[in-house]
Amino acid sequence: MQKTIEAVYRSFEQLLCEKEYEKITVTELCALAVINKKAFYVYYTDLNELLAEMQGQLSRAYAQRVAAYQLPRDAKQVIREFFLFSAEQGEAYERITCSETFQYIRGQMIRNVQEETKIDPFTSTLLGVLMSTALLEIYKYWVMSGKKQSIEEDIATATSLICAGLVGTL
């Protein structure tokens, strides 16, 4: 059972790196995972359910990682953890995070993290917009530029821009 699920996840991540989500089929996922379609349908009703499960796992893992922090007080730590967590996730996560095709998926992951961290709704919305927009754009630029500068330099840039604001960096 566990091997089947792991094969499905590995294959799904590989396909996410190779093509747009909308073009992935259960048939090709099963062929790549070397399982039959019936085995897939034992665990998932469709690819959307698999994607939702993956989103949930990533969101929960990040939320747990930053659970002890409070915004805005611990913004520097949250920024650092975002970059470190993201850098550990691999190519499929980078594609979901950086590709405009996955904007809806990214938005759902952000909402999941906001729900997991249990910040009050008003603060969560404002901080979430600021943090997620700025962090994601800086992270996307880092990935798209081939990670030319070190992750520590990117963390420092993100921290400076988000915490000190534009005026504080001039």
Separation of first and last alpha carbons in the chain: 56
For residue 68, pLDDT over 70 is answered with yes
pLDDT tens-digit map of 5-44: 999 999 999 999 999 888 999 999 999 999 999 999 999 9
pLDDT score at 116: 64
Helix axes 26-33 and 2-18, enclosed angle (nearest 10): 120
pLDDT tens, 109-161? 766 666 666 555 666 666 666 667 888 889 999 999 999 999 999 999 889 88
In DSSP notation, 9-36 reads: HHHHHHHHHHS-GGG--HHHHHHHHT--
